[in-house]
Structure formats: C-alpha cells, structure tokens
Amino acid sequence: METNQFERVAEHQWRIEPRGDMRVPGIVYASEQLLRDMDQKVHEQVCNVASLPGIVKASYAMPDAHWGYGFPIGGVAAFDAGEGGVVSAGGVGFDISCGVRTLHTGLQRAELEPVKPRLADLLADIIPAGVGSKGRLRLNGAQMDAMLSGGAQWAVEQGYGLAADLERIEERGCMAGADPSAVSDHAKKRQRAEMGTLGSGNHYLEVQHVTAVYDPGTARVFGIRVGDVVVSIHCGSRGLGHQIGTEFLKAMVTAAPEHGLTLPDRELACAPIDSALGRSYLAAMRAGINCALANRQILTHLARQAFEQLVSNADLTLLYDVSHNTCKLEEHVLDGEKRSLYVHRKGATRAFGPDHTDIPAALRAVGQPVLVGGTMGTASYILTGTRDAEARSFGSACHGAGRSMSRHQATRKWRGQSVVSELAERGILVRSPSLRGVAEEAPGAYKDVAAVVDASDQAGLARKVAKLEPMVCVKG
Amino acid sequence: MQSWEHFPHEADMGVRGRGDSMVEAFAQAALALTAVVTDLTVVRPRQLITIHCQAPDPELLLADWLNALVFEMSSRRMLFVRFQVDIEDTRLTASAWGEPVDPARHHPAVEVKGATYTELRVAQEAGGHWVAQAVVDV
C-alpha cells in the first residue's frame, strides 16, 4: 500500500481519518516496510469495518494484516450492543477459535535429538492430519452437545488431559454462553469424525526448541529457558466451526435489509447483537469456541501419549492456549468509562497486560502469553501482553506471519519433496500426507514473522519474550 | 466452451468455471473446487450423490452450491469429479460423482473450509459465455 493514504501518528501507527461512511478512524500498526508490503485491500477493509453500526474508537489492523473476508485478517474491532452494535460472522472467520497452544516438555534439545526421527514418525502416526483423516473419537448427539457446552473442561472430564491444563486456557477452557441447539445438524454431522484431528493448510503440530530469550524476567515466569523443548499446536474448530461460519454468513447477508443494514461488501455480513440472529450466532459461535478448545485438548492428550512412549521423563504441561478468531464480550475503559464491548479478533491474538483478572494467577504479574505461529522453516515467538495494548488495540496483537504469496504461486515455485529435504538438512523433520500441501506451505510463501513480531513489540501491542525454532513439524 | 481455472488470492484460492450456460459454469467451478484439493485425473466417478440448494440470487446460489459440495466432501470424506447441474429459478439440483478419499492415491493437498463471498461473481460475458467464480477459504 502507499503510505500517503495514512497519517503517521507514531513510528508504527498509521491512521486513516474517518471519511464517507466511516464512523471511526482506521488504525494500522506496522513498520513502514510491512505497511508498504500489505495489499491495498487491507486499507479498503479497515475502512469498511469502520463503517459498521455501533463500532467504537477505531477499526484496527495488526502488523500481520492481509486481505481477508470483509474484515482484514489481522483485524480488531469492538462494538457496543447499546449503540446498535453488530456481530459479524466474517469478523470471526470460518475457522472459529482457531488458535495456538504451547506445552512445556521438561526436556532439553540434546535429550530429544537422538529420538527425534522416531518421535516425528510416532506423532505423524498418532495425530490424524490432512484431508479425509478421522479422529478415533465418535460423539453421539448428547456427547456432541456436552462437548459444545463444556469445551476443554468436557475433554478433561472425558480423560483427555489434566484439570491443571484448564488454568492455562482462555476462559478456563469453557466459553460461557454456548448453546448447542443454535448449532445446525449439518455442522454437528460435519464434526462427527473430526474430534482430535489437526486439519490441513497452515495448521500444524510442532516440536520446537527455544533459541533465544529476550525478556529473562518474563521468560522465568513463563518457565521458558534457551534449549528447552516445547510443543505447539495450531488448529481450530474443524468442520463444525466452518459450517457455522458458512451458514451464518448466508443468514446475515439475507437478513441484512430487514435489519436496516447496507453492506459495502457482502462478506461484512453482520446482524445487530441485540437481534434474534445476532444472539443465535453468538450462541453458536461460542459453541464453536468450545469445539476448538476441546479439539486442542484432545490433540494435547495424543501428543502426551507419543512423548510417553519414547521419552520416559517427558512432562507435557500447558504454558498457554490462545484463540485468534473470536468475538468476545469484554470490559474495556474508554475515556475513563468502563464499557462492555463485543471485541472481534479476526486473525489477532488477545494480549491482556499485567494484572488483568482473566490471566492465570501464576502469570498475572507479567501479562498474558501471546503465542505467534511462524512457518515450518522459520520461527515462532512467545510474547507477553502489555497494559498499553488495552488502550491501543483493545488488548490485541498479531497472530502469525501471514502469507506473502498465493498457494498457486507457491506450488509453481517449490516442490514439496525439495522443501522436505532442505528442511531435513537443517534438522527440521516434516511429516505430511501431502507433498503439494507442503509446497503450498513453503516457508518462503510467508512474510517475515520476525518483522511482524518486532513491529508488534515496537508498537507496544505485546513484548517479545522468546523465540522458538522447529525440530519436528506434523502438517495436514 | 467449458473450462475451469484457479485465480490467486493472498491467503486462499479462487475457483472459476466457464461455460455456455450458467449450469455449465457452475459445474466447471465445482471441478475447480476439487482441483484445490487434488489432481482431477486421479479421482474416479464411482459413487453418485444428489445435492439440493436454494438461494435468493445466482451468486449466493453459487456460494451455496460450492458450500454444499464442501459439506459433502467433509462429512462423507469423498472427492467429486463429475457434475450434472440443473437450476430452476432460485433452486439448484445436482448430481455429483466421486469416490472416498484415499490419501495414498489422491495426495489431498488441503481441505476447503468454505466458499466465501469474496470475488463472488456469476455473469454472462460479452462473448455470451457464462462465468461463475468465488474465493474459497482453505
């Protein structure tokens, strides 16, 4: 994008003055280079979101923003129900509550290296991944509803993982206000064989090691040291979430005229929070969040089984679990006044600062862990939320690298086998049922995640704590 | 004249079908959808399923059609390679032939989460042929 469309209000803060139908300004957090590299569509989408009823303060884009559906990916926007505010299916996205969780292993890199190839094979065997894969778990109607109400808490009750895990998950593993009856039979049918599956595309399970610590004090509280081995899981609500997104997108587009909404783009489909459709979407979307939390909990259980088989002293405990496609009712202070707002984060991570009561007690002094996924050949990062982010972005930061190249271009540029071989030479073992999938996900098809993380840090959205590099990557 | 192609989207993929009629363009767009997942030449048309959908306008109907296929691919774990589409007013009825996913033979690259309304377009072009396209989220 051209920088002259923005007013540069700070080194990493670019403002679009309200014009036309915009009710609030647009604000993009990025370095000059990241902003220049963003698609012009990001500008258009930030402005479109700014025009939606009941939006407060500003329409935001994070440093990893790219062209999304209605909302930019990397978009953050908050709405006040009392001011006619809306909830948008596109503002949450198809993969409801897609997110990242990171687990400690209690192991050092040197301990794991000798068993790395066997671990890679075992994880690939144990974790259902890719198109057509099935989970081992089948839920009947009552169990499905219990899962949609209970999330990771339900999964722990079923024997997947430990009660202590729940402390380290947003919402303590269970999103309140979920209503399984708001989820269609189609969505439930699509999920029947998908519990405990990883999916495909940019989803992964990685074994990583800590290669740098930037903030030793916070890292100590997080329990992270250079050389530590961790496991990170990136996936979401699988077919159920996708189906909820698909169905409500259509319902919201169709009902827009009767809600008096004129949409600049059909993807911005939304409904008043205070309407039957809005309430129904929120109830279904929250059930989708629970599905994602339960799914990551089951995958955690499977990862533990794999480690237990190979490394007797492994102890997989949860550092944290973040969701980056959500709409949540949160309290934020605006102009000195506490307000209850529906905060959409589409490809953005909640990043609450120190002392926030939603952060587990053990971490509260330093802020919420912000887990940012990279690519299988680069790095992932752990950051921590800041107090400033609450004023700057409703407590939100970046979520990943973001693509810089389409899948189509990537498959013309790389062959899956050579990507796998090159990474193996660097000590990174990739296991995937699809070589074309690997080519589409080649590290070079993504933006520089380090630049995204640095921009988030320098913009004051989150502070860098540690860098993680992959050892094993299981892809769908 | 019938054909399909993919068009680029920064994060995902666009599917586009062309034909002498709207139904041909819809069928070709469905081939482009399967080609997001796998190579069409390795999918065999061995089982038939029937699909019904309804939407207020042709573009929403295209999104519905693609989403119905996404649902069938996902819930039946199948891939489809031959399509017969009929449209009457706002209603679509279709037959789709395919087979269960076999990862060893199909090497499926990615699953499609849903068809979006981005770049969604159904139109008759100046030359008389029809185009039906949308970006799909993967």
How does pLDDT run across A37-75, given as a tens digit for each residue? 999 999 999 999 999 999 999 999 999 999 888 999 999
Alpha-carbon span A171 to A153, nearest angstrom: 10
Interface test with A, best of B7, B10, B102 (most A CBs within 10 A): B10
Q: The tokens of A28 are what?
A: 């993009």
- List the one residue out of A252, A300, A303 whose CA is nearest residue A87: A252
User: Which of helix, strand or coil describes residue A359?
Assistant: coil
Query: Is the CA virtual torsion B108, B113, B119, B120 positive or negative?
Result: positive
Residue B10 pLDDT greater than 80, yes or no = no
Q: Is residue A361 part of a domain?
A: yes
Residue B11 pLDDT greater than 80, yes or no = no
Question: Which residue spans within chain B are E strands per DSSP?
Answer: 3-8, 13-19, 47-54, 78-88, 91-100, 114-115, 121-124, 130-137
For B3-137, which CATH superfamily applies? Archease domain (3.55.10.10)
Domain ranges of chain B: 3-137
DSSP A5: G
- The four Cα atoms A176, A182, A183, A186 give a dihedral, to 10 degrees, of 180
Domain housing A288: 3-404+446-475
Tens digit of pLDDT for each residue in B19-30?
Answer: 999 999 999 999
Q: How far off is chain B from A234, nearest CA to CA, in Å? A: 14
Neighbour-count burial of B82, counting CB atoms closer than 10 A to its CB (0-12 exposed, 13-18 middle, 19+ buried) = middle
Q: Does B113 touch chain A (CB under 8 A)?
A: yes
- H or E segment and range at residue A327: strand A325-334
- What are the chain B neighbours of A266 within 8 Å (beta carbons)? 117, 120
Name every residue whose Cβ is closer than 8 Å to that of residue B41 and which is 6 or more positions away in sequence.
Answer: none
- List the one residue out of B34, B52, B13 whose CA is nearest residue A201: B13
Query: Is the CA virtual torsion B4, B5, B6, B7 positive or negative?
Result: negative
Q: Is A408 in the active site?
A: no
Q: Which three-class secondary structure string do you get for A161-212?
A: CCHHHHCCEHHHHCCCCCCHHHCCHHHHHHHCCCCCCCCCCCCEEEEEEEEE
Give me the pLDDT at residue A131, please: 85
Give me the pLDDT at residue A271, please: 98
Q: Does B77 touch chain A (CB under 8 A)?
A: yes
Could you list the pLDDT tens digit for every one of the 476 residues in chain A?
A: 999 999 999 999 999 999 999 999 999 999 999 999 999 999 999 999 999 999 999 999 999 999 888 999 999 999 999 999 999 999 999 999 999 999 999 999 999 999 999 999 999 999 999 888 888 899 999 999 999 999 999 999 999 999 999 999 999 999 999 999 999 999 999 999 899 999 988 999 999 999 999 999 999 999 999 999 999 999 999 999 999 999 999 999 999 999 999 988 899 999 999 999 999 999 999 999 999 999 999 999 999 999 999 999 999 999 999 999 999 999 999 999 999 999 999 999 999 999 999 999 999 999 999 999 999 999 999 999 999 999 999 999 999 988 888 888 898 899 999 999 999 999 999 999 889 899 999 999 998 999 999 999 999 999 999 999 999 999 98
A-to-B residue pairs, Cβ atoms closer than 8 angstroms = 128
The CATH number assigned to the domain holding A391 equals: 3.90.1860.10
Rounded to whole angstroms, what are the CA distances from B102 to A187, B48, B105?
A: 23, 17, 5
Q: Parallel, antiparallel, or unpaired for β A99-108 and B13-19?
A: unpaired
Neighbours of A339 (CB within 10 A): 16
Neighbour-count burial of A46, counting CB atoms closer than 10 A to its CB (0-12 exposed, 13-18 middle, 19+ buried) = buried
Average pLDDT, chain B: 95
Half-sphere exposure of A173 (CA within 13 A, CB side): 25
Place of tokens 């559906």: A69
The distance of Cα A358 from the centroid of its chain, to the nearest Å, equals 18
Alpha-carbon span A52 to A357, nearest angstrom: 30
Give me the pLDDT at residue A401, please: 87
Give me the pLDDT at residue A407, please: 86
User: Which of helix, strand or coil describes residue A125?
Assistant: helix
Q: Measured between alpha carbons, how far apart are the two ends of chain B, in Å?
A: 29
Helix axes A116-126, A276-310, angle to 10 degrees: 140
Query: Is the CA virtual torsion A208, A211, A214, A219 positive or negative?
Result: positive
Alpha-carbon span A114 to B44, nearest angstrom: 43
- What are the chain B neighbours of A434 within 8 Å (beta carbons)? 103, 107-110
Interface of A with B in 441-460 (CB under 8 A): none
Name every residue whose Cβ is closer than 8 Å to that of residue A74 and which is 6 or more positions away in sequence.
Answer: A42, A61, A62, A63, A64, A65, A66, A68, A346, A347, A348, A398, A399, A402
Q: Is residue A419 part of a domain?
A: no
ipTM field: 0.91
- Interface contact flag, A476 B111, Cβ < 8 Å: yes
Q: Is residue A410 part of a domain?
A: no
Give me the pLDDT at residue A208, please: 98
Report the number of distinct structural domains present in chain A: 1
Rounded to whole angstroms, what are the CA distances from A124 to A117, A204, B73, B94?
A: 11, 11, 23, 37
Phi-psi region of A199 (alpha: psi -120 to 50; beta: other; left: phi over 0): left
Q: Is residue A417 part of a domain?
A: no
Q: Does A409 touch chain B (CB under 8 A)?
A: yes
Neighbours of A7 (CB within 10 A): 13
User: Which of helix, strand or coil describes residue A427?
Assistant: coil
Q: Is residue A440 part of a domain?
A: no
Q: Is residue A437 part of a domain?
A: no
Give me the pLDDT at residue A353, please: 97
